[in-house]
């Protein structure tokens, strides 16, 4: 089971930007790396679990026709809703994942982009496997998954970034298009469409 919502609610009550998404260069650079790694310029329908206070959400919205975001913490959801209140294509909900993952059997719950940022290592091995199953079931025929995680150990961590990404890498329905590794972070992109960006544009 993930950490309880109260753990994150307490963090957001003490500071509305506890990880420094707005002012730390590390975080702002990571947001730009995330956007640059996306293999397509625009997406029809995207899903961002663990949206925190909505800083990345607001940036992703410019690349998506519709963006559904969610977070475990009710306080984070409130802050993200405030941050994205001017964006009519964004809907932000409170969900406990993977238990409350959108129903992939519904066409409206299929996504051509899913962004997992700093969430998978809070889950134990069973829940990460379940999360990977949910992702694979929810991606459209041309859908892509981006995952980005902090590589350093911390107290609340249940899996390393590498172990979490290995679960997604093992999904035979997906081809890894991007692998970016630094001392601080791991960022990967997988897609049902195994073509590179240049191949998609007919350059090769």
CA distance 148 to 144: 13
Query: Which residues are paired to 116 by β-bridges?
Result: 147
Three-point CA angle 106, 143, 150, nearest 5°? 110
Domain residue extents for the chain: 5-200
pLDDT for 1 = 52
Neighbouring C-beta atoms of residue 39, cutoff 10 Å: 18
Residues 125-145 pLDDT 10s: 999 999 999 999 999 999 999
Amino acid 25: pLDDT: 98
> Mean pLDDT of residues grouped by 10 in the chain (204 residues)?
82 94 98 98 97 98 98 96 98 95 86 96 93 95 97 94 95 94 98 95 94
> What is the per-residue pLDDT for 2?
63
In contact, 12 and 21? CB cutoff 8 Å:
no
Residue pLDDT, tens place only, 56-83: 999 999 999 999 999 999 999 999 999 9
The answer to whether the beta carbons of residues 46 and 64 sit under 8 Å apart is yes
CB atoms within 10 A of CB 32: 10
Q: Give SS3 for 133.
A: helix
| Burial state string for 44-60 with b = 16 or more CB within 10 A and e = fewer than 16 | ebbbbbbbbbbbbbbeb
Q: Residue 47 corresponds to which tokens in the numbers above?
A: 């899903």
Q: Which CATH superfamily is domain 5-200 in?
A: Vaccinia Virus protein VP39 (3.40.50.150)
With beta carbons less than 8 A apart as the criterion, state whether 176 and 188 touch.
yes
Decide if 167 contacts 128 (C-beta within 8 A): yes
- Helix, strand, or coil (residue 82): helix
User: What's the token pair of residue 34?
Assistant: 């995330």
Rg of the chain's alpha carbons, rounded to an integer?
16
**Tokens found for residue 193:** 């469409």
pLDDT at 81: 98
Starting at the edge strand that comes first in sequence, how are the strands of the sheet with 43-48 ordered? 90-94, 64-71, 43-48, 111-117, 139-150, 185-191, 175-181
Average pLDDT, the chain: 95
């Amino acid at each position: 089971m993930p950490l309880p919502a109260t753990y994150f609610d307490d963090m957001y009550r003490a500071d509305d930007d506890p990880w420094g998404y707005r002012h730390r260069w590390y975080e702002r650079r990571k947001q730009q790396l995330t956007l640059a790694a996306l293999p397509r310029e625009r997406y029809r329908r995207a899903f961002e679990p663990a949206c925190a206070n909505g800083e990345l959400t607001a940036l992703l919205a410019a690349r998506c026709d519709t963006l559904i975001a969610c977070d475990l913490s009710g306080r984070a959801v409130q802050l993200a809703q405030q941050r994205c209140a001017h964006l009519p294509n964004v809907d932000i909900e409170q969900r406990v994942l993977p238990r409350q993952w959108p129903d992939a059997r519904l066409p409206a719950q299929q996504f051509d982009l899913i962004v997992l940022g700093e969430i998978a290592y809070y889950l134990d091995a069973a829940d990460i496997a379940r999360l990977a199953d949910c992702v694979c079931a929810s991606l459209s025929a041309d859908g892509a998954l981006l995952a980005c995680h902090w590589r350093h150990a911390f107290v609340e961590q249940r899996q390393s970034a590498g172990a979490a990404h290995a679960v997604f890498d093992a999904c035979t329905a997906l081809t890894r298009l991007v692998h970016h590794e630094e001392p601080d972070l791991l960022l990967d992109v997988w897609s049902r469409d195994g073509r590179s960006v240049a191949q998609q544009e007919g350059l090769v």
